[in-house]
């Protein structure tokens, strides 16, 4: 058995994490042991390694916050699971590992027939996109939503989920080269950010009233997005890709009554009931199983290759997600 462990944090994320051998005791009566099939590396994981994320686990820690696996061993008191069953790993359990062992109640059964690598990206980015679309503004089919960082994983999911809900999307990227990364899924409007963003968006949408904006960049990009949102509209921030705090003018905040709110999936988890969580994941897993919700995969690495994996995930300009896929002999 191997897992990716770190005892410190530092500015170069791949330098602080390494693969180590470990053993597990037999599962307790209420536990499952699961062989990991695939686990995603998210931007928040990289920021956790550098110490720049808003919530940091105590050290030493095992990397990885989401993934899927197949049940290997079942505690004698566990019911409702079978050997070989595909399950969603508990969020935040240290998924960059060959095996995870935890109480059975923390695992979520998943449908067979779907690509496990797509399901490995289910726990964080898809619910982030879905909840931001439906939690803040009651959008109706035919309405518009605008987002920046549209070439990100969350951005890709948001485009697909919006389309399934009959919504139109304006998708903003930060550089010309990112347009190519969007491939054949650019949404309804695709533009590069800039000072004249609001004018170009108005022209492209026929001056449509946009009531919801989604911001992952922060800094002045927040204000540029706010100028695109209608008076009385809502701007939801969930990231700080620019490395700068959100900036929004009095013109947008006071005189146009644009509301700026934040979204953090971990906070939603704390307030959502088990039934609410099951409803969200059930909907998303069903869409993935039907092939209606997909994300690009840029590269895969074994647990032993965790340093290369993190270096690739931290590199800018990627087109797709980096996954940790344990090797057969690890």
Q: What is the pTM of this model?
A: 0.88
Separation of alpha carbons 85 and 119, rounded Å:
14
Burial (CB count within 10 angstroms: exposed 0-12, middle 13-18, buried 19+), residue 112: exposed
List the CATH number of the domain containing 13: 3.90.180.10
Q: Per the structure block, which two tokens stand in for 171? A: 């998708």
Q: Could you give the number of structural domains in the chain?
A: 2
Q: Which residue do the tokens 């010309």 mark?
A: 176
Same-domain pairing of 260 and 135: yes
Which structural domain range is residue 189 located in? 125-266
Q: Are 102 and 31 in contact (CB under 8 A)?
A: yes
Count other Cβ atoms within 10 Å, centred on residue 131.
Answer: 17
Q: What is the pLDDT of residue 17?
A: 98
Q: How many CA atoms lie within 13 A of 264 on its CB side?
A: 10
Q: Are 218 and 244 in contact (CB under 8 A)?
A: yes
End-to-end CA distance of the chain, in Å?
6
Same-domain pairing of 148 and 238: yes
Q: Are 246 and 220 in contact (CB under 8 A)?
A: no
Residue 283 lies in a domain: no
* Sheet with strand 210-215: strands edge to edge: 189-192, 168-173, 144-147, 210-215, 234-237, 259-262
Separation of alpha carbons 192 and 210, rounded Å:
18
Q: Per the structure block, which two tokens stand in for 56? A: 């940091």
Same-domain pairing of 97 and 131: no
Q: How many CA atoms lie within 13 A of 128 on its CB side?
A: 26
Same-domain pairing of 109 and 38: yes
How does DSSP assign 114-166, residue by residue? S-HHHHTT-SSHHHHHHHHHHHSS---TT-EEEESSTTSHHHHHHHHHHHHTT
Same-domain pairing of 251 and 135: yes
Q: What is the pLDDT of residue 28?
A: 97
- Residue pLDDT tens, the chain, 330 long: 999 999 999 999 999 999 999 999 999 999 999 999 999 999 889 999 999 887 899 999 999 999 999 999 999 999 999 999 999 999 999 999 999 999 999 998 998 888 999 999 999 999 999 999 999 999 999 999 999 989 888 999 999 999 999 999 999 998 887 777 776 667 889 999 999 999 999 999 999 999 999 999 999 999 999 999 999 999 999 988 888 999 999 999 999 999 999 999 989 988 888 889 889 998 999 999 999 998 889 999 999 999 999 999 998 767 789 999 999 889
Point out the catalytic residue in the list 53, 157, 238, 281: 53
> What one-character DSSP code corresponds to residue 251?
I
List the CATH number of the domain containing 217: 3.40.50.720
Same-domain pairing of 111 and 209: no
Same-domain pairing of 146 and 238: yes
53 is known as an active-site residue: yes
Q: What is the pLDDT of residue 185?
A: 64
Same-domain pairing of 145 and 163: yes
Separation of alpha carbons 183 and 124, rounded Å:
23
Q: Are 49 and 63 in contact (CB under 8 A)?
A: yes
Separation of alpha carbons 171 and 154, rounded Å:
12
What crossing angle do the helices spanning 306-314 and 43-50 adopt, rounded to 10°?
110
Q: Per the structure block, which two tokens stand in for 15? A: 């330098």
Q: What 3 state SS string does 11-64 have? A: CCHHHCEEEEECCCCCCCCCEEEEEEEEEEECHHHHHHHHCCCCCCCCCCEECC
């Amino acid at each position: 058995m191997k897992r990716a462990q770190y005892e410190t944090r530092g500015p170069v994320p791949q330098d602080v994490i390494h693969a180590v051998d470990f053993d597990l005791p037999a599962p307790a009566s209420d536990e499952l042991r699961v062989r990991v099939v695939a686990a995603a590396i998210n931007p928040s994981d990289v920021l956790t390694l550098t110490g720049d994320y808003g919530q940091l686990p105590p050290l030493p820690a095992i990397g990885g916050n989401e993934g899927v696996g197949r049940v290997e061993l079942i505690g004698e008191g566990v019911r409702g699971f079978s050997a070989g069953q595909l399950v969603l790993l508990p969020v935040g359990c240290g998924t960059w590992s060959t095996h995870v062992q935890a109480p059975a109640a923390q695992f979520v059964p998943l449908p067979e027939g779907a690509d496990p690598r797509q399901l490995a990206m289910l726990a964080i980015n898809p619910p982030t996109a879905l909840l931001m679309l439906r939690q803040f503004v009651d959008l109706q089919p035919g309405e518009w939503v605008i987002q920046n960082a549209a070439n990100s994983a969350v951005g890709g999911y948001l485009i697909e989920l919006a389309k399934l809900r009959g919504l139109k999307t304006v998708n903003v990227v930060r550089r010309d080269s990112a347009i190519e990364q969007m491939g054949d899924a650019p949404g309804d409007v695709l533009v590069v950010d800039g000072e004249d963003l609001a004018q170009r968006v108005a022209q492209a949408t026929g001056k449509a009233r946009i009531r919801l904006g989604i911001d992952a960049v922060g800094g002045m990009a927040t204000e540029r997005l706010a100028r695109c949102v209608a008076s009385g509209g809502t701007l939801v921030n969930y990231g700080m890709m620019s490395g700068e705090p959100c900036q929004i003018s009095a013109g947008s905040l006071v005189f146009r009554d644009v509301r700026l709110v934040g979204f953090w999936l971990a906070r939603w988890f704390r307030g959502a009931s088990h039934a609410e969580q099951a409803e969200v994941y059930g909907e998303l897993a069903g869409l993935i199983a039907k092939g209606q919700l997909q994300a690009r995969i840029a590269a895969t690495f074994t647990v032993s290759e965790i340093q290369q994996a993190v270096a690739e995930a931290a590199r800018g300009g990627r087109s797709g997600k980096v996954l940790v896929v344990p090797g057969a002999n690890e």
